[in-house]
Structure 1
Amino acid sequence: MLANIFDLTLFATALTTILVIQDPLGAIPIFLSLTSRQTDAERTRSARQATLVSFAVILVFAIFGRYILRFLGITVPALQISGGLLLLLVALELLTDKTDEHPDPDSVATNAALVPLGTPLLAGPGAIVATMVAVESASGPVVGWVSVTAAIVVTHLVIWVVLRFSVGLHRLLGESAIQVLTRIFGLLLAAIAVQMMADGVIAYIGAVTGA
């Protein structure tokens, strides 16, 4: 019965992809920069709010992405190819250190947990597209929603833990270790992006040729 509503392979793939894209460890320096003038209690609240905002945005697209695609007349192979290209750009940013720019705390809104932390730092275009692709690649809508939603929940639990204990993690790992992990995540994401584009091209050729 469980196999009819939950796909373990889809869950694992979606979890890995979304977690790598959102890169909570890479977000630690930016989070600490934006919350540098907050007390410990305020920083804890910001971590919770940023996680909830990101979760809400990603979940909305996981549930309603199918209908958005149908309304716009976009096929799954087209989404896979375009999503793969977008994820490849995100991976290149992770690999080339372009995501390490720290915003000035004075230049952001008072509630930085909503913008830019919750979105677009965590719930950015790459994570949104990856979520939609994961749901559409499932054998059925229920399987896709359940499996991907479970992956989203686990991902945001990880994000909350990382942001909640960001000060200690930053001291423990150090800036260099975080940068190395970010590069590794970027390499994994690049491989995922290429595979996604390849699957999209194969599916598109199959649809055209009727194979």
Structure 2
Amino acid sequence: MDDSATHFTTVFMAFFAIMNPISNASLFLGLTDDLDSASRRAVAFRAVVLAFIIVALFTVLGRQIFEMFGITLPAFRIAGGILVGLVGYQLMHGQESSVQTPTAEDNSRSREAALGIAISPLALPILAGPGAIATAMNFAANSTLPEVTRVLAALALVCLITFVAFVTSDSLVRVLGQNAIKVVSRLMGLILAVIGVQMVIEGIRGAVAAS
């Protein structure tokens, strides 16, 4: 496998793990249980499109954001790796990540404005949370066109899979069952933890080389 394919596969797995469409399908079903199929599809579409736009902006503008705040790439990789690793650790232990879990206030608000849940909590912070943004900026850190293109392509593919998982969430949850979904979530957590550690290692290596 060449470097481009390896990069794409790694980015795809990272996005898939942190956006976790299988596990989040169960959450989506709970948030939209009072909606008809057309409204549910509209919520799913708005959520994934908005999530894609948010993460894509940070992917494309990552270098400018670094320069604006005086952030070095090694420092970001260390901080981002710790964040991604913590999300993975929580998922491995069957906990909901505090940065990706809707609050009771979110759920109450979603019942009052059904389509509003596409923005919060689905797009933010569940799909396009800090972990997804950190992952995107890390993998597109060099800002080369091929690199950014692969990150955006991987993100688009995961968003498409997430949309399909959301609109078929009732069937998905019924077929897999909650236990299988929990197993998938823990596997995604393991992948995230490994990716987080790798980001920290790369950050430390870069910091040492720059000193």
The question of a shared fold, defined as TM-score above 0.5 by the shorter chain, is answered with: yes
- Residues 61-103 of structure 1 deviation map (CA, whole Å, 9 limit, x = unaligned): 1111110011111111111100100001111221222218675
The one-letter code sitting in structure 1 at the alignment partner of 2:121 is: P
> Would you say 1:29 and 2:26 are equivalent positions?
yes
Which residue in the other structure is 1:106 paired with? 108
> Would you say 1:125 and 2:125 are equivalent positions?
no
For 2:139 and 2:42, how far apart are their aligned partners in 1? 30
Which residue in the other structure is 1:175 paired with? 178
Q: Alignment partner of 2:125: what SS?
A: helix
- Assess if the C-alpha contact under 8 Å between 2:102 and 2:126 holds in 1: no
For 2:150 and 2:102, how far apart are their aligned partners in 1? 34
For 1:147 and 1:8, how far apart are their aligned partners in 2? 9
| Cα offset, 1:42, TM superposition | 0.7
What is the TM-score when the length of structure 2 is the normalising length? 0.90
Which residue in the other structure is 1:145 paired with? 148
Q: Identity, % of aligned pairs?
A: 33
Q: Map of 1:52-131 to 2, 5 A cutoff?
A: 52-99=49-96, 105-108=107-110, 110=113, 111-131=116-136
- Tell me how many residue pairs correspond in the alignment: 202
Which residue in the other structure is 2:140 paired with? 135
The one-letter code sitting in structure 2 at the alignment partner of 1:112 is: I
- Residues 139-159 of structure 1 deviation map (CA, whole Å, 9 limit, x = unaligned): x52122111111111111111
For 2:185 and 2:117, how far apart are their aligned partners in 1? 22
Match of 2:37 among 40, 51, 68: 40
For 2:7 and 2:19, how far apart are their aligned partners in 1? 18
For 1:135 and 1:200, how far apart are their aligned partners in 2? 14
Which residue in the other structure is 2:11 paired with? 14
Q: Alignment partner of 1:36: what SS?
A: coil
What is the TM-score when the length of structure 1 is the normalising length? 0.90
Contiguous gaps of at least 5 residues in structure 2: none
Segments of 4+ moved more than 6 angstroms: none
> Would you say 1:207 and 2:204 are equivalent positions?
no
| Cα offset, 1:107, TM superposition | 4.0
In structure 2, relative to structure 1, the CA distance for the partners of 1:176 and 1:103 (3 Å cut) is farther
The one-letter code sitting in structure 2 at the alignment partner of 1:191 is: V
Contiguous gaps of at least 5 residues in structure 1: none
For 1:171 and 1:194, how far apart are their aligned partners in 2? 35
Greater Cα offset, 144-153 or 120-129: 144-153
